[in-house]
Amino acid sequence: MDWRKEYSVGVDQFDIDHKTIFDMISRLEAASTNLSSPELQEELFETLMEYTDDHFEREEQFMREVGYAGLVEHHGLHAEVDEELHRLYRKFRDGDEGIARDVVEFLREWWFVHILQVDMAYNPTK
Ligand SMILES: [Fe+2]
Ligand SMILES: [Fe+2]
Protein backbone atom coordinates (compact mmCIF):
# COMPACT_ATOMS: atom_id res chain seq x y z
CA MET A 1 0.00 0.00 0.00
CA ASP A 2 1.84 3.06 -1.21
CA TRP A 3 1.27 6.65 -0.19
CA ARG A 4 1.25 9.18 -3.04
CA LYS A 5 1.49 12.94 -2.90
CA GLU A 6 -2.12 13.25 -4.13
CA TYR A 7 -3.06 11.91 -0.70
CA SER A 8 -1.50 14.87 1.08
CA VAL A 9 -3.99 16.52 3.42
CA GLY A 10 -1.85 19.63 3.88
CA VAL A 11 -0.72 18.88 7.44
CA ASP A 12 2.71 17.23 7.61
CA GLN A 13 2.02 15.30 10.79
CA PHE A 14 -1.10 13.72 9.31
CA ASP A 15 0.65 12.80 6.07
CA ILE A 16 3.28 11.08 8.20
CA ASP A 17 0.52 9.37 10.22
CA HIS A 18 -1.21 8.16 7.05
CA LYS A 19 2.08 6.83 5.61
CA THR A 20 2.77 5.03 8.87
CA ILE A 21 -0.70 3.48 8.83
CA PHE A 22 -0.22 2.36 5.20
CA ASP A 23 3.08 0.73 6.23
CA MET A 24 1.41 -1.02 9.14
CA ILE A 25 -1.34 -2.35 6.88
CA SER A 26 1.31 -3.63 4.45
CA ARG A 27 3.11 -5.36 7.29
CA LEU A 28 -0.11 -7.03 8.42
CA GLU A 29 -0.79 -8.05 4.82
CA ALA A 30 2.67 -9.60 4.50
CA ALA A 31 2.21 -11.46 7.78
CA SER A 32 -1.15 -12.88 6.70
CA THR A 33 0.08 -13.80 3.20
CA ASN A 34 3.19 -15.50 4.57
CA LEU A 35 1.05 -17.25 7.19
CA SER A 36 3.22 -15.79 9.93
CA SER A 37 2.47 -16.88 13.47
CA PRO A 38 -0.85 -15.78 14.97
CA GLU A 39 1.17 -14.04 17.69
CA LEU A 40 2.92 -11.83 15.17
CA GLN A 41 -0.33 -11.11 13.32
CA GLU A 42 -2.01 -10.22 16.58
CA GLU A 43 0.83 -7.90 17.55
CA LEU A 44 0.70 -6.12 14.19
CA PHE A 45 -3.08 -5.86 14.41
CA GLU A 46 -2.89 -4.35 17.92
CA THR A 47 -0.17 -1.89 16.98
CA LEU A 48 -2.21 -0.78 13.98
CA MET A 49 -5.33 -0.24 16.09
CA GLU A 50 -3.45 1.72 18.74
CA TYR A 51 -1.71 3.92 16.22
CA THR A 52 -4.99 4.51 14.36
CA ASP A 53 -6.61 5.68 17.60
CA ASP A 54 -3.71 8.05 18.28
CA HIS A 55 -4.02 9.42 14.77
CA PHE A 56 -7.77 9.98 15.12
CA GLU A 57 -7.16 11.84 18.37
CA ARG A 58 -4.50 14.06 16.81
CA GLU A 59 -6.74 14.83 13.86
CA GLU A 60 -9.76 15.63 16.00
CA GLN A 61 -7.65 17.85 18.27
CA PHE A 62 -6.48 19.76 15.20
CA MET A 63 -10.06 20.16 13.94
CA ARG A 64 -11.11 21.43 17.36
CA GLU A 65 -8.25 23.95 17.39
CA VAL A 66 -9.11 25.36 13.98
CA GLY A 67 -12.85 25.32 14.70
CA TYR A 68 -13.55 22.92 11.84
CA ALA A 69 -17.32 22.73 11.22
CA GLY A 70 -17.36 19.08 10.15
CA LEU A 71 -15.76 17.75 13.34
CA VAL A 72 -18.78 15.91 14.75
CA GLU A 73 -19.50 14.11 11.52
CA HIS A 74 -15.81 13.32 11.00
CA HIS A 75 -15.54 11.98 14.54
CA GLY A 76 -18.53 9.73 13.83
CA LEU A 77 -16.69 8.15 10.88
CA HIS A 78 -13.59 7.56 13.02
CA ALA A 79 -15.74 5.97 15.73
CA GLU A 80 -17.42 3.71 13.18
CA VAL A 81 -14.19 2.29 11.77
CA ASP A 82 -12.81 1.94 15.27
CA GLU A 83 -15.81 -0.16 16.22
CA GLU A 84 -15.43 -2.31 13.10
CA LEU A 85 -11.72 -2.84 13.87
CA HIS A 86 -12.56 -3.98 17.38
CA ARG A 87 -15.21 -6.34 16.01
CA LEU A 88 -12.68 -7.87 13.60
CA TYR A 89 -10.08 -8.04 16.36
CA ARG A 90 -12.49 -10.04 18.55
CA LYS A 91 -13.03 -12.47 15.66
CA PHE A 92 -9.28 -12.83 15.31
CA ARG A 93 -8.94 -13.46 19.06
CA ASP A 94 -11.68 -16.08 18.76
CA GLY A 95 -9.37 -18.03 16.46
CA ASP A 96 -10.45 -16.83 13.02
CA GLU A 97 -6.91 -16.45 11.69
CA GLY A 98 -7.98 -15.74 8.12
CA ILE A 99 -9.45 -12.50 9.39
CA ALA A 100 -6.18 -10.56 8.94
CA ARG A 101 -6.69 -10.70 5.18
CA ASP A 102 -10.23 -9.34 5.52
CA VAL A 103 -8.91 -6.56 7.73
CA VAL A 104 -6.35 -5.60 5.10
CA GLU A 105 -8.98 -5.58 2.32
CA PHE A 106 -11.40 -3.56 4.39
CA LEU A 107 -8.82 -1.02 5.56
CA ARG A 108 -7.27 -0.49 2.17
CA GLU A 109 -10.63 0.55 0.76
CA TRP A 110 -11.63 2.53 3.84
CA TRP A 111 -8.43 4.60 4.01
CA PHE A 112 -8.45 5.59 0.36
CA VAL A 113 -12.00 6.87 0.60
CA HIS A 114 -11.46 8.45 4.01
CA ILE A 115 -8.30 10.35 3.08
CA LEU A 116 -9.46 11.51 -0.33
CA GLN A 117 -13.04 12.41 0.56
CA VAL A 118 -13.14 13.09 4.29
CA ASP A 119 -9.69 14.13 5.57
CA MET A 120 -9.15 16.21 2.44
CA ALA A 121 -12.02 18.48 3.49
CA TYR A 122 -9.98 19.93 6.41
CA ASN A 123 -6.90 20.52 4.21
CA PRO A 124 -5.76 24.01 5.26
CA THR A 125 -3.82 24.53 2.03
CA LYS A 126 -6.87 24.23 -0.21
FE1 LIG B 1 -6.61 10.75 8.79
FE1 LIG C 1 -9.96 11.34 9.52
Q: Where are the domains of the chain?
A: 5-122
Q: What are phi and psi of 16, to 5 degrees?
A: -65, -45
**44 Cα–ligand 2 center, Å:** 21
pTM of the full structure: 0.94
Return the ligand number nearest the Cα of 74: 2
Return the ligand number nearest the Cα of 79: 2
CATH fold for domain 5-122 = Four Helix Bundle (Hemerythrin (Met), subunit A) (1.20.120)
CA-wise closest residue to 28 among 14, 15, 47: 47
Which pLDDT band, with edges at 50, 70 and 90, does 97 fall under?
confident
pLDDT tens by residue, 20-75: 999 999 999 999 998 889 999 999 999 999 999 999 999 999 999 999 999 999 99
